[in-house]
Structures are given as structure tokens and as C-alpha cells.
Structure 1
């Protein structure tokens, strides 16, 4: 019996390492936007999910979140599939099929205007959901959840260092191919600078957390004991990786990405300053005025950083007004398309085809909009009314999870704040960009959420907390 238990623990650790490695591999080839790496990532993650589910069953502490996520996956994938099939009596079929029947004699009629593209989009929905579910299965305690967050943070730091070296020495190269867009901006392993900024912003928050963890461990380590110098070296490495993430973020020149990161930092950093030593076993209470002073100092520090280092992004925002930005110019056309198909949608993955009929000539004739540059509006157009309902449910679940985490967790409460800050960062940037539609980043963020949700719903008095907090 004991050997079986030990093997089970070892197997979970092996699967956890494979999970972290697969998430990182999904990032590297341009965010897995091309078919081959995306297929590899999907096969690997689905296999890992099946193995984890068969071996470990539903997670104990986060079971209700697991059930809701699985339910949403089934509903969204099922509705997407329904959009591709021919319903009886052409019920809910898009009007374009009637014109196709009259002009070309086409007999097929479905909700989606491009059933093949919509069917292929099911995997784009499923992959981040399955990643989240797998993370919940494997992150059964605080230690493993923190391992996932540490692995994601270190990977973001290493990718930031790679991006800085590449941008400084080979600015016209993107990994191993010639770079054709955003030549003046650092994009790391991504094609788009806005996706890179979202990823690097999340990396800043993650590495800030790791710096806090390692510096606290060093400060409590007895002087003269073996291993103290190693902790000091790790502390400097973590600080350098944090600086690399921040520098790479600034060099991305993404206005929305930088500002969304600073909003997240305003939520997280002041609280972290006030509670830097909050997990000590014998915490000495500070006067309220001193805590307030630290909180204000942390907020001012974030604002000063924005003013000092985000100059180019601020200049771009001042020089280019919102009405001159193509992303905002096309919004009225997207709203008209949604108002015409708000109930059923036009089929997931059909934005490029549908929007061409609603494009305002005043926005210019150059360029093809294959993305809405707004995750929420494109989801609404593609899936119909079911998308905002699902989005409200997701945010409600996360709000409940984080609320419970704030109320119940003590030593690890900063991880709950990390989850809140990162969610705000990604949610804000999703309103003006499509980072969540890039498979690599979607998988990365889903893995991140699985770890912070597991910590938020963990038991504060468990053996894991006493050992590792």
C-alpha cells in the first residue's frame, strides 16, 4: 500500500513537470498559431488530461470549479458544433445560405457561414479549457500550485531575456525566420507586440512574486549555514529576470499592454509592500498609519515607473487619437453585425468573412481585418448570446473564488491578489486586442489560473501550508 502511495505521488510529480513543460512548449513557436505546433500541443494536453483524470479523479478542494469549467466546455463546444450542421427546415440558418441556394444551387444551410472553419475552431475553445481542467487535477495542494506558478514565471523571465537579446542583436529576426511586422517593437516569441505585452506583463507579476518568495527565504536563512550563498545567487537571478520582463514589456511599445500591466501592478504591488512579511509565524502588528504609508508609497512607485519608462507608449497614445486608430474605427461595424446576429451568432471563426459586409469605408480600404481586436465582441459575434452569458459566468466564478481566497487564506493571500491582478490585466487588454485568441498565451493563462484557483480554494491550515508558507 505504501509503495503504491509513493508511486502515485511520484507519478503526479512527473505529470506536473510534463504539464509545465507542455505549456512552455506551446508558447515558443509563435504562440502555436500555426497548425503543426497547435496540433502537437492539443494532442499532448488532451493525453495528459485523460491520464490525470483516470489516475486521480476530480480535485477535492476545487471540485465545484472543475464541474463548472467542464460544463462550460461541453456547452460551448456543443453549440459550436450545432452551428456547423444543417438543422431541419433551415431553422436558424444564416440568410447567406438562401442567397447561395438561389445563385449557385447550394442545398446546405447552417448557422455558420463557414462550417469548416467553425468546426476547426472547437479545438481553439477546448485547448485552454482542458489546460485549466488538467491544472486543477494536478495542483492538488499549495506546493504543486506554487511549482506551476514558479515554472511559468521563470519561463516568462527566460523568454524575456531571449527577446531582449534577439531584439538587440537581430532585430529583423523572429526566432529563426525573418520578421516582417513590428520591426520597431520587441515581440519575443510572438508575432504581435500586443500579445507579447500581455504575456510579459503577466511575467512581471509572476516574477515579482518569485522575488518576494526568494528574498524572504534568504532573510530568514541562518547566517553561516550552507546554502545561504545559493539563495543569494538565486535572489539576484530572480531580480534580473524581473528586470528583463519589465524592460521587454517597455520595448514592446504596446500602449494597452503597458497600461493594463500597470493597472494590475497598482492592485498587486502596494498590497505586497504592506504585507511583505505577512507570512511570518509571529507577525508584529504595525500601526495603521504606517501600513497606509507603505500602501501609498507602493502605488506612487508604480506611477513613477510608468512615467519614467513608458514614455514611448505614452507618446504614441498622445499622437494617435482613439478615433484615428483602426481598431476603434471598426467598432460600429462590429456592433451592427452583432445586432443582426445576436441570438445565434455567425459561427465561431467567421469574423473575417462576416465583417467584410459591415466594414465602414471611412476606415480605409487597406488591410484585412481577420480579428476584431476585441475578444468579447468577436466572441459575441461568433457564438451569439451564449458567449456573454458564459463570460459573465466565468467572471462570477473567479470573483467568488478570489473572494473566498481573500477571506480564508492568510500566509498565501498574496497569491490570491496575484490572481486578481493578472485577471484584471488580461481582461482589460482583451477589450482592445486578441491575446486570448492566441493558443500559446491562452494555454499559459489557463495554467496560471488553475494554480491560483487551487491556492485560493486550498485549506489554510493544511500540512502543505505549515510546511511551505
Structure 2
């Protein structure tokens, strides 16, 4: 049965790498593969535990689980047919629209089929968190998950950069037209930029787990540590970060680059002020990323193009700000219930006041979630994210484990970067980005509760009783 458990864990690692490959899993056939994958992974876990899953660890993640499960329950309610009288009370505007077209029954959602598809995606997200809680039960596995995120980001970055540098005009696999801008296996450059931002931040956290906290008492010790660092896995990870920064700059994503630099700077300041037993090399790490990667590498591979795009940005030339403004009217009409998940493209044409082209997303996930899910449900998800951010902050401030503090730092930077980037784009819509971000929220919680060494072990010969083995944390 341990074999099924290991297979399930390896399938989790493989899924992380797979998610961005089929167009960011942002097509119905692609996210269906991921949903089936997660379902099979769950079945393997049930078989591994012989149906007696240990529910004790779930208590450590109750806020994350409660938020995700409650949100999916609300999305389910959005898809239910509701009697006209009740629908008029819950969402008078939805009842009015359905009655206007002579529909035999009404829903909270104005596109119940797309909302149902969104519900299946949401259930898959929640199931993956359950699976991760059972599978990622040790500091070793925690680092493996982070390492796989970095490897996946590096593979995407290398592929994207090669397509641009080799001047390939058509993507080798899906045949999309390439325009000299890095997109990787994503369709939209900002989605790649967002994915690389998360992988970069987690990579920085991974390097922080390997930094020495004790001072070098002599020149010999300093030189020895320097050589060890050059020859260690840390240098491979550093090289991965350089490759990802090159690709990030090549995306020419204004807010993608801005979000990463801001997340690095803010996260670095937080670490320098609050990091317990702060490694001396932490300052050099943060400084090198900002200085060397962004100035030297960026100058060679196109940072000037990003800067030029920022300078030329004009609210008069951009129509996305107009979409956000008009979407506020939708929120006023559907403040509590929303229009149904994945229904933005259906409802927005009713509120558009000019011909600005087709918009299937609001280019602002805060606005889109309030439009589709309503203000209360959006605030619920906000609480889940901020709570994960707080737990990661508490970890770097109070724990002694280098592993947990480093991973928590990476989570802090990733969450800050995501909160910045989604203010101008729809990065939580592709499954690859959304599921990776949810995994990062899980990692932020896990870094606060998992023991620095040891793992979830079986008591006795049966697997009915399990518990966490706590041990002394490494300083």
C-alpha cells in the first residue's frame, strides 16, 4: 500500500510540471485532463490508506479548506434552478433577466453551464489540497514540491526563450503564431510572466533554505563555504533563476516584471527586518536578484523594451481600464450573489457602453471575482489568502527551521506578487496559474505546521491511527 502512496505523491509532482504544458491548461480538454488526473490521484490515496484516511492533519489547514469548500458550495448553489419567488429575493436582477427571455426556470448564474464547468474545476482544486495535505507530510517532500515548481518554471522559461532567440515564427507543438515575445506553452504572455514570477519567488525561498546562519569565524571558513556554495545544488537553482528572469523580461509583460521586482523588494525587506536568525547572505541574495538579474541580464535580453512599454502606456490608448469601470455597474446590480462563475463574457456586453472589442475577462481578477461570485464570496477567498500570508510571516518570525523559513519567505513573495499582478490581469483563470497559486497557499500553511524533521508515520501495523512526529528543528 505504501507503493500507491508514493505513486500518488509522484503523480502530484508530475502534475505540477504538466499543468502549464497544454496551453496553461486553459482549454476545456486540457483542464479536463487535470481534473481526471486529480481524481485518479485521490483514488490511489484512498487505496493506499485502505479507506481510513487520517483526518487529524486536516485540522491544521481548516481555514484553507473551509474557505475553498464554502466557495465551491456557493458556486454549486449558483447552478441550481430556483423558484421565481426565491430567486427574486436572492437576485432580483437574475430573475428579471430570465423572465425577460421567457425561461421556464431561473438560476443565480446567468450562464449555468459555464458555472457548472467552473464548479468542476473548483472541486478539483479543493481535492488537490486534500491530497497535498496527506502526501506532503514531511520537510523533505515540502522541498521536493518547491523544487518541482522551480524546475517547471525553468523548463517553461528555457522553451520560451529559445523560441524567441531562434526566431521561430510558429510554435512547434500547437502551431500558434509567435511574435518575438516569450509565451512558452501558454497562449498569453502575461500568464507565462505570472507563472515565472511564482516559480522565481519559490526559487528564492529554496535558496534561502540553504544559507548559513552562523557567522564565518575565519577567512578559511568563509572560502570553504563559498566553494561549497558554488559546487552545491544552490548554484543550479541560482542558474534556474537567471534563466527564468531572462524569459520573464522577454515576455515584455509590464506588470509581470513589476510584480516580481516589487515582490522581491517587499519580501526582502520583510525578511531583513523579521527573519529569525537571519543569514548574513540573505541581504546579498536579495540584492543580487534585484541588481544582477534585473540590470545586467535584463539589459542584455530586453529590459529596455519593457521600460519602453511602461513609458508608452496610456490610459487613453488602453481599453482595459474602461472594462473595469463598466464592470463596477455589474457589481452594483449583483453585489451579493454575482452573475455566476465563468459568466463574465456573457454579462459584460450588456454593460458595455462602446465598441472596444471582445472581452471574456475583466483583466482584473478582483473585479471579475466580485462580478461572478459576489462580494461576500470574494472576501472569503481574500481571507484565505491573507491568512496564508500571515502564517508564512509568522513562520519566518518565530520558527528556527531554515527549511520552513525559506519556503515561507518564497510563499510571501509569491503571494505579494500575485496580489499585485491580478490587479491588471486575469491570472487566476488558467488552471496552471490558479492551481500553482493554491499549492503555494498550501505551502504557506504547511511551513507553519509541519515538523522540521520527521513526518506523518503509522502507529502499529494498521494504518488506522497516524500522527505527526515532532522533532528538534535545525537552526
Q: TM-score, normalised by structure 1?
A: 0.82
Say whether the 8 Å CA contact 2:181–2:251 is kept in structure 1: yes
Q: What is the alpha-carbon distance in structure 1 between the residues aligned to residue 166 and residue 254 of structure 2?
A: 24
Q: Distance in 2 between matches of 1:155 and 1:146?
A: 14
Q: Are residues 1:191 and 2:187 paired?
A: yes
Q: Which residue of 1 aligns with 2:176?
A: 179
1:139 correspondence with 2:127:
no
Matched position secondary structure for 2:409: helix
Taking the TM superposition and a 5 Å limit, the aligned residue runs for 1:142-291 are 142-180=139-177, 183-211=179-207, 232=231, 234-269=233-268
Gaps of 5+ in 2: 222-226, 455-468
CA apart distance, 1:229: 9.6
Q: What is the CA–CA distance in structure 2 between the aligned matches of 1:388 and 1:212, rounded to whole Å?
A: 33
Please name the residue that 2:332 is paired with.
339
Residue 329 of structure 1 aligns with which residue? 322
**In structure 2, distance between residues paired with 1:95 and 1:276:** 50
Please report the TM-score for the alignment, with normalisation by the length of structure 2.
Answer: 0.81
Equivalent of 1:401, from 391, 396, 402?
A: 391
| Contact 1:270–1:295 (8 Å) recurs in 2 | no
Q: 1:41 to 1:158 in 2, by over 3 A?
A: same
Shift in CA distance, 46/297, structure 1 to aligned 2, threshold 3 Å: closer
Q: Helix, strand or coil: the match of 1:190?
A: coil
Task: Name which of structure 1's ranges 35-44 and 162-171 shifts more when overlaid on structure 2.
Answer: 162-171
For residues 423 and 380 of structure 1, what CA distance do their matches in structure 2 show?
Answer: 19
**Are 1:87 and 2:82 an aligned pair?**
yes
Shift of 1:274: 9.5
Bigger CA drift: 46-55 or 196-205?
A: 46-55
8 A Cα contact 1:26 1:41, kept in partner: yes
Alignment of 1:379-418 (within 5 A): 379-412=369-402, 413-418=405-410
Deviation at 1:358, TM superposition (A): 1.2
**Stretch moving more, 56-65 or 435-444:** 56-65
CA pair 200-175 structure 1, distance change in 2 beyond 3 A: farther
TM-superposed deviation, 1:31? 1.0
2:67 equivalent to 1:72: yes
2:160 is paired with a residue of what secondary structure? helix
What is the CA distance between 1:180 and its match in structure 2? Answer: 3.8
Aligned match of 2:459: none
Instruction: Please say if residues 94 and 109 of structure 2, whose CA atoms lie closer than 8 Å, have aligned partners that are also in contact.
Output: no
Q: 1:447 Cα shift?
A: 2.4
Cα distance between partner residues in 1 of 2:288 and 2:30: 43
- Describe the shift of the 1:460–1:409 C-alpha distance in structure 2 as closer, same or farther (beyond 3 A): farther
Please show how residues 20-169 of structure 1 align to structure 2 within 5 Å.
Answer: 20-52=13-45, 55=49, 57-58=53-54, 60=56, 63-65=59-61, 67-92=62-87, 95=93, 98=96, 101=99, 105-169=102-166
Equivalent residues of 1:419, 1:452 under 8 A apart: yes
Would the alpha carbon gap of residues 89 and 203 (structure 1) be closer, same or farther in structure 2, given more than 3 Å must change? closer
2:140 and 2:17 mapped to 1: Cα distance? 20
Shift, 1:171, TM fit: 3.4
Alignment partners' CA distance in 1, 2:164 and 2:262:
26
Q: How many pairs align?
A: 441
Structure 1 contact 205–418 (Cα < 8 Å) conserved: yes
Which whole-Å deviations, capped at 9, do the CAs of 1:279-328 have from their partners, x for residues lacking one? 99xxxxx8xxxx9xx84994586267545623322221111123432221
The SS at the match of 2:428 is: helix
In structure 2, relative to structure 1, the CA distance for the partners of 1:275 and 1:356 (3 Å cut) is closer
Mapped partners of 2:304, 2:147: distance in 1: 30
State the alpha-carbon separation in 2 of the partners of residues 32 and 233 from structure 1: 34
Runs (5+) with no aligned partner, structure 1: 1-6, 223-227, 281-285
Equivalent positions of 1:334-373 (< 5 A) are: 334-361=327-354, 365-373=355-363
Two-structure CA RMSD over aligned residues (Å): 3.6
Tell me, yes or no, if the aligned pair for 2:385 and 2:441 is still in contact at 8 Å. no
- Spell out, residue by residue over 1:238-282, the C-alpha distance to the aligned partner (whole angstroms, 9 max, x if none): 3322211010000010011101101111134467789999599xx
Give me the whole-angstrom Cα distance separating, in 1, the residues matched to 2:268 and 2:207.
12
Separation of aligned partners in 1, 2:135 and 2:103: 49
Alpha carbons 2:229, 2:235 under 8 Å: kept: no
Structure 1's 102 and 305: CA in aligned 2 closer, same or farther, altered over 3 A? Answer: closer
Q: Distance in 1 between matches of 2:338 and 2:232?
A: 54
